[in-house]
Amino acid sequence: MKHHHDHSHDRSFDEGPTSEYEIMSRAMQELLIERGIITAEEVRRRMEQFDADFPYRGPRVIAHAWADPAFKARLLADGKRACAEFGLDLEAERLIAVENTPDVHNVIVCTLCSCYPRALLGMPPTWYKSENYRRRVVREPRAVLAEFGTIVPEHVAVRVHDSNADMRYVVVPMRPAGTDGWSEAELARIITRDSLVGVTLPKV
């Protein structure tokens, strides 16, 4: 696999009219099926295989980081190594974990394509791949966050992370008040995918 960025070079998830690439992709699939080279069933199974290959495991890691400050420090220092210690092999992905604090709110995007920490969070949501999100969150992050229901106070700096090359990113949200004594399994249940991309906050 020479071309190893995890982007698809299509824009089929954007809003608006069908793109040229989407038309080409559909035409190619129809031709391959018509000629008996692949079957629709094989395409469906491959899509399922993506989900199996990239399970959604982020909340367990972040819950552990909330419960164990020493682990959190190691996660922030070297995300891939800390995940390996936790039993999660991120394969080729290099992971940078960025921590939300009372002074900083982090949010992740890939403006060039749709790079995403798939080994940790599975397949990216549709909005993450949309042209709208990718174009706007770098220019007006506070407005985009507000559309997700996240109002970041003026005294908190917003830090946007463009996942534009070889690293992948995950946000370590702040542990909400009122969760003292919770088990890691209980904590993991309030850690949503969107909070690990940084567009929302975990809520009790």
Partner 1 sequence: MSLPSAYTEAPARRFNVGDRVAVKAANPPGHRRTPHYIRGKRGVIERVCGVFPNPEELAYGFNGEPKRVLYRVRFQQRDLWANYSGSARDAIELEIYEHWLEPA
- Residue 83 annotated to the active site: no
The residues, any chain, with a CB within 8 Å of residue 118's CB and separated by 6 or more, are 6, 54, 93, 124, 168
**Residue 173 C-beta: closest distance to partner 1, Å:** 18
- Residue 113 annotated to the active site: yes
Residues that bind partner 1 (CB under 8 A): 1-5, 91-92, 94, 96, 111-112, 138-142, 154-167
- C-beta of 41 vs 154, nearer to partner 1: 154
* CA distances in angstroms from 178 to 61, 106, 204, listed in the order given: 20, 22, 7
- Residue 195 annotated to the active site: no
From the list 12, 19, 25, 113, the catalytic residue is 113
What the block records as the tokens of 2 is 């020479």
From the list 83, 114, 163, 195, the catalytic residue is 114
- C-beta of 10 vs 184, nearer to partner 1: 10
- Residue 110 annotated to the active site: yes
Terminal CA-CA length for the chain: 43
The residues, any chain, with a CB within 8 Å of residue 25's CB and separated by 6 or more, are 10, 12
- C-beta of 34 vs 48, nearer to partner 1: 48
Q: List, by residue number, the catalytic residues.
A: 110, 113-115
